Structure 1
Amino acid sequence: MTLSKNHTLFVSDVHLSENKPELTALFLKFINEKALFAQELYILGDLFDVWLGDDLIGNFEHEIATALETLANAGVKTYFLAGNRDFFVGEKFLKLAKITALKDPCEISIFGYSLLLTHGDLLCTDDKLYQRYRSFVQNPLSRKIFLRFPIQFRKLIARKLRSRSKQYQQRQPIAKLDVTEEGVQKILAQKQANVIIHGHVHRANTINHNVNGRVITRYVLGTWHHTGSYIVLDTQSVEIKVFQ
């Protein structure tokens, strides 16, 4: 695939944190070396390892916002679909970064492809406990109440939830935490998409599904550690790539 301005990039699960400077440097390098030369960039959730409210925006968050703002200033449209770690990202950060928020799931058409974009956790339907938790914490009323709590109390809640989440995941078989065929069929029941792009499960992959006689290709983004995972889409193909 030859890169030109006529291509779109997708990333997810970067998990940026002030405590991970090497990861931050890798993402900023990606912005400068790849995203600046794209037509659009879609961030499909968990850009940040944790986000507890826009009132916690500090120097680190400003650094990331400024990097994303450079894309907008260069004519690269950037979109953000929240994940399970950063669904409290609000209007203040979006305006600073000059990015557009998308709902999960989101249908778009690019270069002749009909795409369904999602963070991916909606597809993990075998994990009933998590799905109930997700419905509760992402309810508008729950969000409003949480963001009214004092900052230190929010941080305390986040630490406790993270600890319990790790313990819970360690006790579960991997298959229970993964995307299910039921989840794919359900989300596509009333959709016309022929391609799904998502992250969340942290394992880059390409899987085909048969949905009502249609072949749907699901592209799974990997997580970012020492290298980054991203997708390049143009008129010719969809490719999962590694950035380093």
Structure 2
Amino acid sequence: MILLISDLHLEQERPDISRAFLHFLKHRASEAEALYILGDFFEVWIGDDAISPFQHSIAQALRQLSDSGTRIYLMHGNRDFMIGQAFCREAGCSLLRDPSLVELAGEKVLLMHGDSLCTQDEAYMRLRRWLRNPLALFILRNLPLATRRKLARKLRKESRAQTRMKASDIVDVTPTEVPRIMAAHGVRTLIHGHTHRPAVHQLEVAGQPARRIVLGDWDSQGWALQVDEQNWQLAPFSLS
């Protein structure tokens, strides 16, 4: 069994989500061969040198799962793209590139966070290109902690304000981008998060039936995709 989740947006201010995640690790993920976390695991991440006691506790829970035999893979999201190797070593997980090709239940599958599919949001795409540039990342990681915290608060505030103002189709994936990138990677299944719109979409890629599975965010409820040889099940569950 393989489990895939995304968009937990873990933060100390949401203990309900943290408790639900720890329960998920103990009672579901412990039975899995692998756990994939496809971005926005944390609400904000300003650098491995600024790990809080809360974030350490999450890393320790992941390490316990990893030590028990479950492989853990973590992909950057738009909120936590500065997670680095120091956190991954502590948590016992491996960083995945975005996008990544993996094999699930004998099928080649494309995994993404999903923000790079929202190409109609031109302002965000410009910001994303700048933030993911290696030189920009180097500069950000070497800014004083106080400056990084201030910048993170500013970006979060602006992001929330702009999202409220944008049309829903602008902040969703671009319909033509999905088959294009799936065809480029030669897959018929794409799994991503980011949009907070869980669903299984049927489509065609290069004249063949295909599907796009969108993982849900953890807020009023949790979401997980469970994959085994017999079934692919995307389902919500209570956080309580």
Q: TM-score range by the shorter chain?
A: over 0.9
2:186 to 184, 192, 195: 192
Aligned residue in 2 for 1:142? 136
8 Å contact kept, 2:182–2:188: no
Q: Which runs of 5+ in 2 are unaligned?
A: none
Post-superposition offset of 1:155: 0.8
8 Å contact kept, 1:122–1:183: no
8 Å contact kept, 2:17–2:219: yes
Aligned residue in 1 for 2:78? 84
Aligned residue in 2 for 1:58? 52
Are 1:130 and 2:138 counterparts?
no
* C-alpha distance in structure 1 between counterparts of 2:137 and 2:33, whole Å: 33
Aligned positions of 1:1-244 closer than 5 A: 7-244=1-238
Post-superposition offset of 1:189: 3.0
* C-alpha distance in structure 2 between counterparts of 1:163 and 1:18, whole Å: 18
* C-alpha distance in structure 2 between counterparts of 1:209 and 1:138, whole Å: 30
Structure 2 letter corresponding to 1:90: G
How many pairs does the alignment contain? Answer: 238
8 Å contact kept, 1:30–1:243: no
Post-superposition offset of 1:186: 2.5
Flag as ranges the 4+ runs of structure 1 deviating above 4 A.
Answer: none
Structure 2 letter corresponding to 1:72: S
Structure 1 letter corresponding to 2:28: K
Deviations 1:198-240 (A, max 9, x none): 1000111110121111211111011101321110011112110
TM-score, with length taken from structure 2: 0.97
TM-score, with length taken from structure 1: 0.95
Structure 2 letter corresponding to 1:221: L
Q: Which runs of 5+ in 1 are unaligned?
A: 1-6
